[in-house]
Amino acid sequence: MSDVFVSYARSTEPQAMKIAAALRAKGYSVWRDDEIPAHRAYADVIEERLKSSKAVVVIWSTDAAKSQWVRSEANAARAAGTLVQISVDGTLPPMPFDQVECAELKGWNGDAEASGWRKLADSVAALVGPISVEQGEGHSRRRGNSICVLPFVNMSGEAEQEYFSDGISEDITTDLSKVSALSVTARNTAFMFKGQAVDVCDIAKKLGVSHVLEGSVRKSGGRVRINAQLIDGRTGDHLWAERYDRELDDIFTIQDEISHSIVDALKLKLLPEERKAIQQRGTENVDAYNLYLKARQHWISGVYGDIGKDQAIVRLCRQAVALDPNYAQAWALMALAQAELRFWHGIVTENALPAAEHALSLNRDIPEALCVKARYLEDEGQEDAANREIDAALQLDPESWEVNREAARLLFRGGRYREAIPFFEKAAHLMTGDFHSLAMLMTCYKPMADKSLLRKTAERLVQRTEAAIAKDPANMAALPPLATGLATLGQEERACDAINRASLLDPENVSTLYNLACTLNCQIEDRDAALDMLERFFERLTSTTILKHIQADPDMDSLRDHPRFKAALASAKARLAKKL
């Protein structure tokens, strides 16, 4: 077990990684929650690690002080006498933790002589005790076996084949996560290095892992070539390398061989249930698998709110399940896209529930299907039942982007903004291209009147939306949140330019109209222009879910009593009631 447990909010992960790396350099074994195996329940692992760690370093920040998870972990450590506190942004520990000494590490650059770091290091040393020579020899021996699977490079010469190399990387990560003797870096952390020229030893040191797997994929016609190398993160030596040049039909066999070769190279012992779990692919049909990977890529990287994206996913998944009716993951992904079409785009003839139920009949452990059930229950007014489905989904996979996003949206529509914050924050962390969760975070922070946090979130929002537009100039969904972020940062001229571009290029899109109205009302403070947008929005509204969102949205509070707003809302409600 670990010497040190590190507790932190997602927004301070860079600082947490730096602190963890510095503690490992001193010879301690350090654990963060990016190391939870895929087959273990989140709550069980957290409790186990908290109890077994000799020191619990709680990194306080504005977000951490509001996080129920950080508070809970700090409380457990305080009761056990293992609590070590630091602040990375000047935030004081909340009650009752303000009675315990807290080191200050704001702006820390790794200086071992900084007073705050010395205070932290001394406290950890006092709790952990002396470090053996064997512990201090290197991070790979301190932590046992741990690995980061870097995104495999697409060598096909066609950008559209990226979905396949990404899918292979994710599947190998998932397979290795099923090995209890191996700690595996989370997919979202590994994919931060995608497309970068990296030094494997630097990555190993930064992430605190003993080994790194890297590789490439070339897919052409009915053949696939995969190169893979397992590298010692301390020395840079290749422990194992292999080249597979086979028929595409052998892809599952190749993945199994890679996973088992890594296990053998690291001299790990697989439990019988782990060996069986690695071999479970969801499908044995290569064509169905290929269609699913394409649909998954659309889901992850497509434009949020784009009806065409969701329709394409449904078509691809229908083809996949036609080839393999028992492909649970494809049924679940189809259900997610169908739910978007029904609840967000207002296509009431689209019914996602049968696909979700069928996915669960094939595999009870698919959390995304539970999210779809939750949306139907909420739509029927059964909020408590919907929350139970989301709680069950979180137990199955607390690292799922879909689950965290749905949990956040459900809480938001219930007016529970503060409770929604950690889930929006985690969703934004799990998917680096997710700017919508950041936009929702800004809406949640406004009622709290925390200008500093609002500004930091706006900076992140602008960075992500600008990156999305640079990658795809046709990504109109990024313009409204870009305008919101710019206006919040006081760049009103640029914000108005983004509003004008969105109005010209996507004038009929209901999401565009609504989000622009929010920016005009709250940031630009042009009420008449906001009402003009809202009247056009209400005329086009087809979704009752969006209607619930509006009724909960604090961005609309200053307009709710305005005659124009009340008239437009009443008209939309009457029209939607007739439609149902």
pLDDT given for residue 396 in this prediction: 85
Specify the 3-state DSSP secondary structure of 223. Answer: strand
The CA–CA distances, whole Å, from 377 to 183, 387, 573 equal: 37, 9, 20
Does residue 99 register a pLDDT over 50? Answer: yes
pLDDT at position 579 is: 67
Q: How confident is the model at residue 21 (pLDDT cuts 50, 70, 90)?
A: confident
How far is Cα of residue 298 from the mean position of the Cα atoms in its chain? 16
Q: Phi and psi for 329 in degrees, rounded to 5?
A: -60, -35
| Residue 394 clears pLDDT 90, i.e. is over it | no
Question: If we measure between CA atoms, which residue out of 12, 8, 65 comes closest to residue 450?
Answer: 65
Specify whether the CB–CB gap between 358 and 318 falls below 8 A: no
- 50 versus 402: which is more confidently predicted? 402
The 10s digit of each residue's pLDDT in 203-229 is 888 788 899 999 999 988 889 999 999
What are the tokens at 251? 């892809």
The overall average pLDDT reported for the chain is 85
Pick from 64-73, 454-463, 519-528: least confident:
64-73
Q: So what's the pLDDT on residue 159? A: 74
d(CA 404, CA 400): 6
pLDDT of residue 69: 79
**Choice among 71-75, 225-229, 238-242, 279-283 with the minimum mean pLDDT:** 279-283
Tell me the mean pLDDT in the region 62-67. 86
pLDDT tier for residue 324 given thresholds of 50, 70 and 90? very high
How far is 497 from 502, CA to CA, in rounded Å? 9
Q: What is the CA radius of gyration of the chain?
A: 25
* CB-CB contact of 90 with 106 (8 Å): yes
Residue 459 has pLDDT above 60, yes or no: yes
Taking residues 436-445, report their average pLDDT.
Answer: 91
Please state, in angstroms and rounded to a whole number, the distance separating the CA atoms of residues 362 and 66: 39
Domains of the chain: 4-137 (3.40.50.10140), 141-281 (3.40.50.10610), 284-363 (1.25.40.10), 468-580 (1.25.40)
Of 109-113, 389-393, 542-546, the one with minimum mean pLDDT is: 109-113
- Highest mean pLDDT, choosing among 430-439, 546-555, 559-568: 559-568
Per-residue pLDDT, 40: 43
pLDDT recorded at residue 34: 52
Q: What is the DSSP track for 123-190?
A: HHHHHH-PPPTTGGG-HHHHS-SEEEEPPPEE-SS-GGGHHHHHHHHHHHHHHHHT-TT-EE--HHHH
pLDDT computed for residue 50 by the predictor? 75
> Is residue 466 predicted with pLDDT exceeding 70?
yes
Does position 55 have pLDDT exceeding 80, yes or no? yes
Cβ within 8 Å of residue 514, ≥6 positions away: 533, 534, 537, 546, 550
Element (H, E) at 521: helix 510-522
Question: 65-79, 378-392, 455-469: which range is least confident on average?
Answer: 65-79
- The pLDDT score that the predictor gives to residue 38 is 43
pLDDT at 54 over 80: yes
Token pair, residue 545, equals 């879910």
Omega before residue 354 within 30° of 0, cis: no
For residue 131, what pLDDT is reported? 53
pLDDT at 136: 38
pLDDT in tens, 133-177: 334 333 333 345 889 999 999 998 777 788 889 988 988 988 888
Instruction: Give DSSP secondary structure letters for 26-49.
Output: TT--EE-GGG--TTS-HHHHHHHH
Supply the pLDDT for residue 45: 60
> Which of 367, 371, 303, 358 is closest to 327 using CA atoms?
358
Closest by alpha carbon to 443, among 462, 459, 421, 463? 421
Coil, helix or strand at residue 216? strand
Distance CA 467, CA 475 (A): 10
Both tokens of 541, joined, read 């509204």
Residue 296 above 70 pLDDT? yes
pLDDT at 43 over 60: no
